[in-house]
Amino acid sequence: MTPSYLLRRLFYGLLLMLGVVVLNFLLIRLAPGDPAVVIAGEMGGADEALLAAIRADYGLDKPVLTQLGIYIGNVLQGDLGQSFFFNQPVATLIGDRIGPTILLVLCAQVLSILLGVFLGVIAARKPNGVLSGFVSVFATIGYAVPVFWTGIMLIILFASVFPIFPVEGMQSVRLRDAGFMIRALDVAHHLVLPAFTLALIYLAQYARLSRASMLEVLGSDYIRTARAKGASERSVLFKHALRNASLPILTVAGLQFGNLISGALLVETVFNWPGMGRLAFDSILRRDYPTIMGVLFFASAMVVVANLLTDLSYRLADPRLRGKS
Amino acid sequence: MKMMTRLMGAAVIAASALSTAPLQAEGTLVIASSQVPRHLNGAVQSGIATAVPSTQIFASPLRYDENWEPQPYLAESWSVSDDGLSVTLNLVQNATFHDGKPVTSEDVAFSIMTIKENHPFKSMFAPVEAIETPDAHTAVIKLSAPHPALLLALSPALAPILPKHIYGDGQDVKAHPANSAPIGSGPFMLSEFTPGEAIVLKKNPNFFIEGRPVLDEIIIRIINDPSALLIAMENGEADVYPFMAGSQEIKRLGEADHLTVTNEGYAAVGPINWLAFNTKSPKLSDVRVRQAISYAVDRDFITKALHRGVSTPQRSPIIESSPFFDAAAVTAYDVDLEKAKALMAEAGFGDGMELTVDYIPGPAEQQKSIAEYLKSQLAKIGIDVTVRAAPDFPTWAGRVGGHDFELTMDVVFNWGDPVIGVHRTYLTDNIRQGVIWSNTQSYSNARVDEILAQAAVEGDFAKRKALYSEFQALVTQDVPIYFINATPYHTAYKKDLVNAPMGIWGTMHPMDRVHWSK
């Protein structure tokens, strides 16, 4: 891996981000509906003067390409603009929400990889066994079921029928002034259902992938050799086989990051999780252009960075790729 | 594996520890709401989302009891001159803003003029010409014409008194940074505001009414998902849920032993769910077609079956809980399909016609369900209705504001006095292209314009009521709108809550008397 390779990847990443900004800008303006009417509607009614004032305040009276030029110029200077709806800097709104989204996405990612791989390995051990069949069925269902449906079912089961978990966001409002440990436990308590819901769909994919990958690796000569040497079954599975079988999992994990973020949008809405996904969802309904574009900008940046890191870690894990660019 | 078992065990223990007995801090009230406020300054923003917190943060000259009677608030007394052109407010001496500065007549004058300039309800203070401040605690409102709606417009929901020393700095008040961090003189002070998530209000220890507020803290928790909101109420995570309109949720929370569910507290809001006609449409310009449609729709079916009995029928442009409503004046259009068919034939549409109905996207019961019901019901008089969905509110608002519709479902609030919330829908000079909740029906009747102009300045209640009776008679004969039902807003609150805010403004009223029974 050479520095020039890294620089080139970063350059491509930035180019991609620019494309994302332009595409988002144009797409959102193709949607029918006028943000000035929404703002005026939220204010309780309006007259032409107020609508004109709102359009002038937010630069909506200028030609679209001029608006695009101004926006790109501002983004390059680190200014994501002012939310039409909340009249606050978009960066502040996102800053308040990026932490909860990252927490949710990372927890879901870790949960899905750990549990998915574990299930896949167990299933690969006896590919025709009952457990393998269970994993296959579970994986298919997990993959097929819409994430919002799973979320609602979990809410009904674990928040309504058996009220074990809360549903009102990331923390209990009544525990705001409690000590750090109590609040951390409270957040963990709130995290269980949304993280599991988001993890479920990807967990299924990891389980299937690692099962297939393990089956392939377990048929290799070196595994037979390891077994012949008297290595324990656990050592064969988790030390010898899993390491080689993990390369495709690593690739998929990186590629799935973008899907996880889009899944988070639905999960955050269902569970009232105070993250960027919900902000994006609400902002689309309000035609709050700067906020939508700010969230998409951050989300695409996260995906670009995740892909870059995956690529780099893939090279670290597979010595054969290290010399190649 | 052992590690995972331990982790899962710890999580289960933590979960069960946190889920036992509601952890309720003494004196905290948690209000669950699906309404997202843009900011917290009700002087430049109408709507329930802003008004609930704004009425806690800002005090106003007057407040109202449950009988529509004005009560002292920042004004300890007030008087209206004989000619009705001057209203004198005598302010309390001890009121201070949350930053310690005294509330003076200068602040009152500044606030009312700011509201006049910036609030979307232009009619509230339109006749106010000037406000004189002979001393620090006297404000005299000078009017160009008598304005009987003025006293109601001085309510907390409509006339928050702003600190001039903060908002008078020359910045645009609509976009003032203090709107998201307001300083008022109300019973509660803003502690935290996370847009779209939560508003935390702490007790104002220097509130000018002694011994109030009783609560230590009010937290407004925004929960968008309706089922999550219901569960939060059932589980005791939230204490009050106002502006609940779904029959299923009303019934479900009504079954919870620890909750009271009531439809009180919405008299001044006056929310009316209606079917509006574009009277400029060639198919709907003939009043007989509009009357035929009105005779074909079964209002009782909608309220009793579609709304499962939680909503009440509405027959008038004035909400039926208002003192100005006159049941004898209105044409109710009780369902009569034969009469409807005859009217269609008279209008030259005996062979039927095609119409499109729009509706506000969102919770279906008040809008989409009725639009779909219209399709089957109007087919009985030969009208082929196409239900046109809008993906979101801006799309619907664009169509209706742009007069690009034939029929549309809509919901509009009366806002206490007809001058504030009713006139806007029927005045000829309020037919405005591109402006939602103006006279988008393009309805024009010279006599109606005349009556509304007279009613706006008539100081005598009986005479004013007579004018509004004639107005109700004319509008229901002309049917620019077929009135369906009062939006069944309900409030659910815990039974051990004392003095729950159920006056004419409901939760859009200072909650300084609210407390827990133990």
The closest alpha carbon to B161, from B86, B47, B62, belongs to B62
Q: Burial level of B169, CB count in 10 A (0-12/13-18/19+)?
A: exposed
What distance in Å separates the CA atoms of residue B450 and residue A245, rounded to the nearest whole number? 83
Tell me the nearest-neighbour CA distance from B144 into chain A, angstroms: 22
Share of chain B above pLDDT 90, in %: 82
Q: Which of A45, A160, A189 sits opposite B120 (nearest CB)?
A: A45
- What is the per-residue burial (b if ≥16 Cβ within 10 Å, else e) of A255-281? ebbbebbebbbbbbbbbbbbbbbbbbb
- What is the per-residue burial (b if ≥16 Cβ within 10 Å, else e) of B479-506? bbbbbbbbbbbbbbbbeebeebbbbbbb
Residue A42: the pLDDT is 61
Please name the residue that has the structure tokens 């509201």.
Answer: B115
Residue B5: the pLDDT is 40
pLDDT per position as a tens digit, B365-400 = 999 999 999 999 999 999 999 999 988 787 888 889
- Provide the 3-class DSSP secondary structure of residue B431: coil
Token representation of residue B442: 């393009």
- Provide the 3-class DSSP secondary structure of residue A266: helix
Kindly write down the DSSP assignment for every residue of B300-325, as one continuous string.
Answer: HHIIIIITTT-SEE--SSS-TTSTT-
pLDDT per position as a tens digit, A202-228 = 888 888 888 888 888 888 888 888 888
pLDDT tier, A87 (very low <50, low <70, confident <90, very high otherwise): confident
Residue B122: the pLDDT is 81
User: Does the beta-carbon distance from A40 to B30 stay under 8 Å?
Assistant: no
What distance in Å separates the CA atoms of residue B393 and residue B362, rounded to the nearest whole number? 8
Residue A323: the pLDDT is 57
Token representation of residue A240: 């010898």
pLDDT tier, B285 (very low <50, low <70, confident <90, very high otherwise): very high
Start-to-end CA distance of chain A, whole Å, equals 7
Q: Give whichever of A148-157, A160-169, B441-450 has the largest mean pLDDT.
A: B441-450
- Provide the 3-class DSSP secondary structure of residue A12: helix
What mean pLDDT do residues B309-329 have?
95
pLDDT per position as a tens digit, A31-81 = 776 777 777 766 555 567 777 877 887 778 888 888 888 888 888 888 888
Contacts A175 to B, Cβ<8 Å: 23
The residue with greater pLDDT, B35 or B241, is B241
Residue A1: the pLDDT is 56
Residue A103: the pLDDT is 94
Instruction: Examine the pLDDT at A325 and tell me if it is beyond 70.
Output: no
Contacts B119 to A, Cβ<8 Å: 44
A234 touches chain B (CB under 8 A): no
What distance in Å separates the CA atoms of residue A62 and residue B261, rounded to the nearest whole number? 50
pLDDT per position as a tens digit, A239-295 = 778 877 777 887 788 778 778 888 888 899 888 899 988 888 888 888 888 898 899
User: Does the beta-carbon distance from A167 to B432 stay under 8 Å?
Assistant: no
Please name the residue that has the structure tokens 């609150």.
Answer: B493
Contact by Cβ (8 Å): B383, B353: yes
DSSP lists the bridge partners of residue B202 as: B189, B217
Please name the residue that has the structure tokens 């030029």.
Answer: A69
The residue with greater pLDDT, B168 or A222, is B168
What mean pLDDT do residues A126-139 have?
82
pLDDT tier, B104 (very low <50, low <70, confident <90, very high otherwise): very high
What residues contact residue B196 under an 8 Å CB cut-off, 6+ apart? Answer: A86, A274, A278, A279, A282, B36, B222
What distance in Å separates the CA atoms of residue B331 and residue B327, rounded to the nearest whole number? 9
Sort residue B331 into left (φ over 0), alpha (ψ -120 to 50) or beta.
Answer: beta
What mean pLDDT do residues B499-517 have?
94
- What is the per-residue burial (b if ≥16 Cβ within 10 Å, else e) of A55-92? bebbebeeeeeebbeebeeebeeeebbbbbbbbbbbbe
Instruction: Examine the pLDDT at B19 and tell me if it is beyond 60.
Output: no
The residue with greater pLDDT, A159 or B488, is B488
Partner B, chain A 300-319, Cβ-Cβ below 8 Å: none
Instruction: Examine the pLDDT at B459 and tell me if it is beyond 60.
Output: yes
User: Does the beta-carbon distance from A40 to B435 stay under 8 Å?
Assistant: yes
What is the arrangement of strands in the sheet containing B312-313, beginning at the earlier edge strand?
B312-313, B481-486, B271-277, B407-413, B353-358, B383-388
Residue B320: the pLDDT is 93
Contact by Cβ (8 Å): B190, B160: no
Q: Which amino acid is at A54?
A: I
Q: Which of A87, A168, A269 sits opposite B232 (nearest CB)?
A: A168
Q: Which of B120, B221, B398 sits opposite A168 (nearest CB)?
A: B221
The residue with greater pLDDT, B292 or B364, is B292
Partner B, chain A 79-138, Cβ-Cβ below 8 Å: 83, 85-88, 93, 96, 114
Tell me the nearest-neighbour CA distance from A78 into chain B, angstroms: 21
Share of chain B above pLDDT 70, in %: 95
| ipTM of the prediction | 0.73
